[in-house]
Amino acid sequence: MTTAEKEQELKRIITEHGKVAVAFSSGVDSTLLLKECADTLGAENVVAITACSLAFPKREQNESTEFCKSEGIKQIQFNINPLEIPSFCTNPPDRCYICKKAIFTEVCRIADEQKCNCVFEGSNLDDDNDYRPGMRAIQELGVVSPLRKAELTKAEIRLLSEKLKLKTASKPSFACLATRLEYGDTITEEKLKMIDRAEQLLIDLGINQVRVRLHGKTARIEVEQEQMQTVLENADKITTAFQGYGFDYTALDLNGYKTGNMNKSIQQ
């Protein structure tokens, strides 16, 4: 199917569910999904539900609020402390399943309260190519993935976002801050805050796609190849700031940014 045909299929899937709740993170995928739902069903038949936690930077939360207000979409935010979710802190390989199950159980409860017929989430076709234990939780709870069902890829989602003049068309991909830690490395509030502050500093320097991976007390910076020069030009500022955040050492990964990099240990 062409991208245009896939968009029509997406609209068909949305229409057959009536009033819906959308798990909304303000990312590229969920923003397009929410916009398509509002355009197809009318904003009055869509509820955006956003989970706020230590693993979700404040800037993302603020962007979600701004978008819903601009589109006239009702948004419900709820706070969840992932460190209180049983087994999450031990950071096992199925950490994402554990976290998603807890978060989406609450999303589904809120959706029922709002008398929504179902819950949508923003996974796309490309997500099938990576280790995604969280998808098991999505399936167990009966949550629908319209973008994935319509076979839309990330590139096509960006194209449709551009057509709809969404600011997220060129927004960098983002993932939960816990993905910056190696499996088995205990997750703490201190570590999540260190990572968040480090990534925010790099974003403020104009680096749009970044991951700061944590290895003991070492920060391993991943950026696109063309943005490595920016890191090097600001090396003194970055290392000094990172030391203040709690890192002993700062390293630049010459392989560059790669999504799902911490999954290598369980995919071998």
Neighbouring CB atoms inside 10 A of 204's CB total 8
Model confidence at 124: pLDDT above 80? yes
pLDDT at 88 over 80: yes
Do 97 and 23 lie in one domain? The reply is yes
Q: Which of 170, 185, 209 is the last residue of a domain?
A: 170
pLDDT digits (tens, 9 = 90+) for 125-172: 988 776 778 889 999 999 999 999 999 999 999 999 999 999 999 999
CATH of the domain at 120: 3.40.50.620
As a whole number, the mean pLDDT across the chain is 94
Q: How distant, in Å, are the alpha carbons of 4, 25, 111, 215, 220 from that of 117?
A: 26, 20, 8, 43, 44
147 vs 154: CA distance, rounded Å = 9
User: Is residue 78 packed enough to be buried (19+ CB in 10 Å), middle (13-18) or exposed (0-12)?
Assistant: middle
Q: For residue 263, what pLDDT band results from cuts at 50, 70 and 90? A: low
In the predicted model, is pLDDT for residue 262 greater than 70?
Answer: no
Query: For residues 82 and 98, is the Cβ–Cβ distance under 8 A?
Result: no
- Looking at 149, 170, 191, the residue that finishes a domain is 170
Helix/strand/coil for 244: helix
Q: Are residues 188 and 148 in the same domain?
A: no
pLDDT surpassing 90 at residue 8: yes
Task: Kindly state the percentage of the chain with pLDDT values over 90.
Answer: 88
Contacts of 63 (CB under 8 A, 6+ apart): 26
Q: What global pTM score does this model have?
A: 0.91
Do 125 and 225 lie in one domain? The reply is: no
Give the residue from 170, 199, 217 where a domain finishes: 170
Q: Are both 43 and 118 inside the same structural domain?
A: yes
Q: How many CB atoms lie within 10 A of CB 84?
A: 10
Average pLDDT over residues 186-195: 96
Catalytic residue at 176?
yes
* Domain interval for residue 115: 3-170
> Which of 68, 99, 108, 176 does the annotation list as catalytic?
176
Domain tally, the chain: 2
State the CATH number of the domain containing residue 234: 3.30.70.2210
Q: Specify which residues 77 forms β-bridges with.
A: 50
Looking at the structure, tell me whether residues 11 and 39 fall in a common domain.
yes
**Residue 268 pLDDT level (bands cut at 50, 70, 90):** very low
Same domain, 31 and 126: yes
Residues facing residue 250 across a β-bridge: 219
The candidate with the shortest Cα–Cα distance to 14, out of 126, 122, 132, is: 122
Residue 188 vs residues 81, 140, 154, 171, 177: alpha-carbon distances, Å: 11, 28, 31, 28, 11
Q: Which is nearest to 103 in space by CA: 132, 129, 138, 130? A: 138
Q: Provide the sign of the torsion angle of the four alpha carbons 160, 58, 87, 257, taken in this order.
A: positive
Nearest to 173 by CA among 128, 220, 122, 215: 122
CA separation, residue 50 to residues 1, 58, 99, 150, 235 (Å): 32, 12, 14, 23, 36
Least confident of 62-76, 171-185, 208-222, 252-266: 252-266
Rounded Cα distance, 174 and 195, in Å: 13
